[in-house]
Amino acid sequence: MHLTPEHVRHALIAAQGLSARPEQPTRQHVLDIIRQMGVLQIDTINVVARSPYLVLWSRLGAYQPAWLDDLLAQNEIFEYWSHAASFLPIEDYPLYRRFMLDRVHTWARAHTWTETHPEIVNRVLGRIREQGEVRASDFERSDGQKGSWWNWKDEKVALEALHTSGDLMIARRHNFQRIYALRERILPDWDDAEAPTMDEAVRVLIMKSVRALGIAPKAWIADYFRLSQDRVKMVDKLADAGLLVRAQVEGWVQPAFIHPDNLALVDDVAAGRVRHTDAVLLSPFDPIVWDRKRALALFGFDYKIECYTPAPKRRYGYFTLPILWCGALIGRLDAKAHRADGIFEIKALHFEPGVALTDALVSDVADAIRRCAAWHNTPTARVALSDPADAAARFNAALA
């Protein structure tokens, strides 16, 4: 196969489940797409939709968000640190249990904090053993300080530390608030002897990463599940053993790797049988763009989420959604769903330099905006500002 970066783009989009939306999405589709991606990153910003729900909408269309909540409550998925805080298929729990047991995870402070605050940890665990399930809000703050994301009360820190160490799991969410329970209540039959070795866990995650990326050089593989670059060195051994397939991409110095499950897909992409022609809006935390270096190298799309940037210094907006069209990232829009008023406000719509605003592009992107607005029950969509400036009028006409 003669592969080009364009082939890599289309393979990534297809491997990520963005090739075709089901006509009538179901609860099973939600579970299937999480399994296909391997990880669904969590974020709480809610100006449009919270990221995990938006990532699923990009792939499934007008599904019921309650299905994701139900999968968690029914233990078909679980929450833990992966690419970041994430929803994960429950069958992958043994892999992450090995990281818990070996104290290899994102929040290094967890174990040291529990060891230096045993009285708080014991009090919190005692409350959970007695009560069964708790939220952080069940514990009153007693230090007189105002709570915030950066200033948790001790009980909230204890809950998060115990979740990171694996003593607690998230039983379910209510209004997106975590509800914690003892691990033995969620997984009463789990035995730590079932956890794989670290090498086995890393091997499986490398394989899953390559499969989820479609065609991947070594430099991209570690970020998907936030493995260290040192750990993914075994990718060459996996290729030597025939578990992965090496490929050469035009213009790339280093080889790329393909999971055997994707060989037919890559063959179809290389033969031109897989082309992406519609438009879809993406979450800032979608796997397509969460690796900013990969998005820049592969799509030429320089992306930064600016919600953490002071308003006067923002270039594009608070929570911009990348626009994927015909296998390219062509722009971004800063949206806000005013649910009470039924309005899907697009504060700003920006297109990349050199993108020609053809009638087909305007029609397709307007259709994606309409679908997203309808899913939010905000059927009136309108654009305030755009770059180029005359695009706003064209899109408002198309959206009318």
Domain boundaries in the chain? 1-106+187-274, 279-399
Q: Check: CATH 3.40.630 for 279-399?
A: yes
CA 58 to chain centre: 11
Q: What is the pLDDT of residue 149?
A: 47
- CA pair distance 372, 152, nearest whole angstrom: 34
* pLDDT tens sequence across 22-40: 999 999 999 999 999 999 9
- CA pair distance 209, 222, nearest whole angstrom: 8
Where are the extended beta strands (E) located within the chain? Answer: 40-41, 77-81, 85-89, 133-134, 168-174, 177-182, 216-217, 245-247, 256-258, 279-281, 320-325, 328-338, 343-351, 380-387
Mean pLDDT of 226-253: 96
Q: What is the pLDDT of residue 277?
A: 85
Q: Supply the mean pLDDT for the chain.
A: 94
Mean pLDDT of 246-272: 96
- Contact at 8 Å (CB) between 55 and 299? no
- CA pair distance 104, 231, nearest whole angstrom: 12
Per-residue pLDDT band at 112 (split at 50, 70, 90): confident
* pLDDT tens sequence across 340-386: 999 999 999 999 999 999 999 999 999 999 999 999 999 999 999 99
Q: What is the pLDDT of residue 206?
A: 98
**For residue 147, is pLDDT > 70?**
no
Q: What is the pLDDT of residue 188?
A: 97
Angle formed by the axes of helices 359-375 and 391-399, nearest 10°: 60
Tokens of 72: 């968690």
Per-residue pLDDT band at 172 (split at 50, 70, 90): very high
Percentage of residues in the chain having pLDDT higher than 70: 97
Q: What is the pLDDT of residue 391?
A: 97
Tokens of 370: 């309409």
